[in-house]
Amino acid sequence: MSDTSTRPATAAGTWQLGDLTVNRVGFGAMRLTGGTPFGPGGASSDRERSVAVLRRAVELGVNHIDTAAFYFSPTRSANELINRALAPYSDDLVITTKVWPARDPSGAWWWAEPEQLRGQVEENLRQLGRDHLDVVNLRLPRSWTTGPVAEHFGALAELREAGLIRHLGVSNVTSAQLAEARTIAPVVCVQNAYSVDAPGSEQELLRECGELGIAFVPFFAIAGGQREEGASAAEDEAVLAVARAHGASPAQIRLAWTLEQGPHVLAIPGTGNPDHLVENVAAGAIRLTGEEIARLGSVRPADG
C-alpha cells in the first residue's frame, strides 16, 4: 500500500519553509473552536471532536498546521486544542502562527505596538507548550495596504535572533510590503486570501513568490469572496462543472485548482468536521487538465 493511500496529505508533494519540509496540504485551525473569531460569536465546538479532527489530520499526513492565539471562542482555544491533541509534538510537525492582531478575554480586538509583539509570541508559546515557534507571520490589517512594516517586522526579527522564532512570514501584504520585509530578515511564506475568484493583484503576488522561492499560503481558498462566512451555497457554474467531471465536491476542486498554481503554493483548509477533513485532504490527489485550470481561472471575483 502506497504512502499516499494511507497518508493522502502527501499526494501533492512537499515544499520548504526555510529548513522545514511540509506537505503541501496542511490544516487551518480557525474553525476548530466553533464559529469564527472575525464575525459574530457562535456556539463553541465539541472539545473531543476537535481533538479527534487534529489527530486524524496528522494520521492523514498533515504536518503543517496554521493557528493563532486569537482563534478562540468563549470556551475553546485553538492553540490549547492543538496542545492537548498533539503534544508531545512529532519532530516533523510544523506549527505556524500569526501576530499583530489580538483579542482581549472579552473578544474585543486590539492591534499590538512593535514592543508588544514579544508578549504575543510568548502567549503562543505558553498555549502551545513550546519553547520556540516554527513560523510566525506578521498579520497586517486589511486596511494597511500602503503602510510600512519595518518596525513590526523588525521586532519579530529580533525575536528570531533571540531564538523564540525559527522562521518569519508575512500575511495580508502587498508586493511592496513583502519587499520591505525582505530587507530586514528572510521571509519563508506569504499568507494572503486567494481562491479561484481572486483579483489579479493576488495572482501577480503568487507568481512573484514562486520566482523568489517563497511559499504562498492562501487562506479562504474554499470560501473565496465569502471569507469568514464560509463557502456559499451558490457556487460558480465552472466550479460545479469541473466537480461533476471528477466526481468531487466544489470545495475539493477549489483546493485542487489552488494547488495547481505552483509547487510553492500550500493549502491550509480548516474544518471542525471529520468528514470534511478527509474530503479536503483528498483534494491533493486531484489532477486537473489544462483546460479545466484555465476555465476555473476565468471565474470572476465575487464583487464583479
Residue 158 sits in a domain whose CATH number is 3.20.20.100
Residue 2, in any domain of the structure = no
Residue 12, in any domain of the structure = no
pLDDT, average across residues 172-184: 97
pLDDT, average across residues 26-39: 82
Residue 303, in any domain of the structure = no
Query: Does residue 167 contact residue 18 with C-beta atoms inside 8 Å?
Result: yes
Query: Angle at the Cα of 170 (from 285 to 32), degrees rounded to 5?
Result: 55
- Nine-digit cell at 108? 474585543
Report which of 114, 29, 127 is spatially closest to residue 87, judged by C-alpha positions: 127
The pLDDT value given to residue 228? 46
The residues annotated with a catalytic role in the active site are 71
The pLDDT value given to residue 40? 47
The pLDDT value given to residue 123? 98
pLDDT band at 34 (very low <50, low <70, confident <90, very high): confident
Give 115's contacts (C-beta < 8 A, 6+ positions apart): 155
> Exposure string (b/e) for 208-224, b if CB count within 10 Å is 16 or more?
ebbeeebbbbbbbbbbb
Residue 290, in any domain of the structure = yes
pLDDT tens track for 196-245: 988 778 889 999 999 999 999 999 899 755 444 445 556 789 999 999 99
The pLDDT value given to residue 64? 98
- Dist CA 8 CA 87 (whole Å): 22
Residue 5, in any domain of the structure = no
Q: Give the chain's domain count.
A: 1
Residue 10, in any domain of the structure = no
- Nine-digit cell at 293? 485550470
Residue 86 DSSP class: H
Print the domain residue range for 202. Answer: 19-297
